[in-house]
Amino acid sequence: MEKKKLDSRIKEEMTVDYENVLEKNFDVAKEFIRITSTGTIDVLGKEKFIGIEKILLYFIGKVYAKEAGLSDSEFTSHKELCQELGIVKGSVLPWVKKLRDEGKLDVKKGKHAIKVNYIESILKKLSEKK
């Protein structure tokens, strides 16, 4: 009986529905991000943000693009970040490493993606900067 009760509590109180995280933060995310029909991410107002913030927004955009079926994956390479954000590799690498060391990124085959549970706090912080 105790095991079943714990199972229920975990499901009710600790389970995260990532789709709801994206939906809940949609209005804030669209203030910063646009996604083309080909899945390319455009970070709006790039000049307002420092490099690591642009990278975070790009990663968030990739999650939305994947959810919309506009991208095959939410994972991004260093090369893609450099090309799409116009940031040199020498800057991208340490920023991505910092985010990875902070536990904010997943890594798969040398590519990175933002952990969905960080999206809300990142967007909130960047909204306060506006």
Tens of pLDDT along 62-74?
999 999 999 999 9
Per-residue pLDDT, averaged over 24-52, amounts to 94
Per-residue pLDDT, averaged over 7-32, amounts to 83
pLDDT score of 38 more than 90:
yes
Name the domain count of the chain: 1
* CATH number where 12 lies: 1.10.10.10
Q: What is the pTM of this model?
A: 0.85
Mean of the per-residue pLDDT values for the chain? 91
For residue range 94-122, what is the model confidence (pLDDT) as tens digits?
999 999 999 999 999 999 999 999 999 99
DSSP codes of every residue in the chain: -HHHHHHHHHHHHT---HHHHHHHTHHHHTTTEEE-TT--EEETTGGGS-HHHHHHHHHHHHHHHHHTTSSS-S-B-HHHHHHHHT--HHHHHHHHHHHHHTT-EEEETTEEEE-GGGHHHHHHHHHHH-
Give the per-residue pLDDT at 14. 76
